[in-house]
């Protein structure tokens, strides 16, 4: 492994934050019909991109500030995240945030942590119309037919030579987990990693993530593993 760049692809909702911000926001706004769309997404009758787009289209654009305040103020960061960032910087580990969340809450929640904007991948939003329109600056490349919205494997394919590690919690991380060298997982993703025998370590805090990265640390100073 020596000499191989280590790149982390870290999920946001339910991973960096302890809960899912999109669900929390929609529950709060409770626009008529959103739950049926959510159920269609979970049952995979429609894609994540279609579902998220349709749910947000039920919310008036004039709610922008209220939405942002609600999500940002209520977001809870998983313990150890700041130590994890410091660890990545000191070890020269490249950290990319790969989020199915939306820019209007992902950037402000991450703002205190000083992560370069170009290392954060998420969906966009347009509040210029009557209702919220989600934009998809990182949609699937020709290798993915998942209609993901924010396509995590598309980002990962830009680093074919790296040691690729996925950190995540849910169904939107599964395709990336299957492509990764190994996975740091909790909740739903952890169950799938066990079932599918994907190489993985479990986590609950980012201190667990640091410990997992240390345990799988490439050999320093010459010899390959
Ligand atoms: Mg998640
Ligand atoms: Zn995709």
Task: Express each pLDDT in 172-215 by its tens digit.
Answer: 999 999 999 999 999 999 999 999 999 999 999 999 999 999 99
Ordered domains of the chain (ranges, CATH): 6-214 (3.40.50.1000)
Its pTM surpasses 0.95:
no
Torsion angle of alpha carbons 95, 101, 102, 107, nearest 10°?
Answer: -40
pLDDT tens digits along 40-97:
998 889 999 999 999 999 999 999 999 999 999 999 999 999 999 999 999 999 999 9
Gap from CA of 220 to ligand 2 centroid (Å): 35
Long-range contacts from 109-113, C-beta under 8 angstroms, 24+ separation: 109/16, 109/17, 109/21, 109/71, 109/72, 109/75, 109/77, 110/12, 110/16, 113/81, 113/82, 113/85
From the CA of 151, the nearest ligand is 2
Shortest-distance ligand to the CA of residue 144: 2
Q: What Å distances lie between residue 216 and 85, 128, 177, 213, CA to CA?
A: 17, 47, 16, 5
Tell how far the Cα of 12 is from the centroid of ligand 1, in angstroms: 6
16 C-alpha vs ligand 1 centroid, how far in Å? 8
Q: How far is the CA of 58 from the centre of ligand 1 (A)?
A: 23
CA of 160 to the centre of ligand 1 (A): 23
- CA of 37 from ligand 2 middle (Å) equals 20
Q: Which ligand is nearest to the CA of 48?
A: 2
Cβ-contact 125, 36 below 8 angstroms: no
Ligand closest to CA 166: 1
């Amino acid at each position: 492994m020596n000499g191989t760049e280590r790149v982390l692809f870290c999920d946001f909702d339910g991973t960096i934050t302890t809960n899912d911000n999109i669900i929390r926001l929609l529950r709060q706004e409770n626009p008529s019909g959103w739950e049926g769309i959510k159920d269609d997404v979970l049952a995979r009758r429609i894609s994540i991109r279609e579902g998220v787009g349709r749910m947000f289209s039920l919310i008036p654009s004039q709610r922008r500030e209220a939405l942002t305040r609600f999500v940002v103020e209520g977001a809870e960061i998983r313990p150890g995240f700041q130590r994890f960032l410091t660890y990545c910087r000191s070890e020269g580990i490249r950290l990319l945030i790969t989020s199915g969340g939306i820019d209007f809450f992902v950037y402000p929640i991450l703002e205190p942590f000083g992560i370069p904007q170009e290392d954060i991948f998420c969906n966009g939003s347009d509040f210029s119309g009557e209702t919220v329109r989600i934009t998809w600056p990182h949609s699937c490349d020709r290798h993915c037919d998942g209609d993901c919205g924010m396509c995590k494997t598309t980002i990962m394919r830009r680093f074919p030579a790296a040691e690729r590690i996925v950190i995540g919690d849910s169904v939107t991380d599964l395709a990336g987990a299957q492509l990764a060298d190994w996975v740091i997982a909790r909740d739903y993703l952890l169950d799938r990693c066990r079932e599918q025998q994907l190489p993985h370590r479990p986590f609950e805090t980012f201190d667990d993530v640091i410990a997992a990265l240390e345990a799988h640390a490439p050999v320093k100073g010459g010899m390959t593993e």
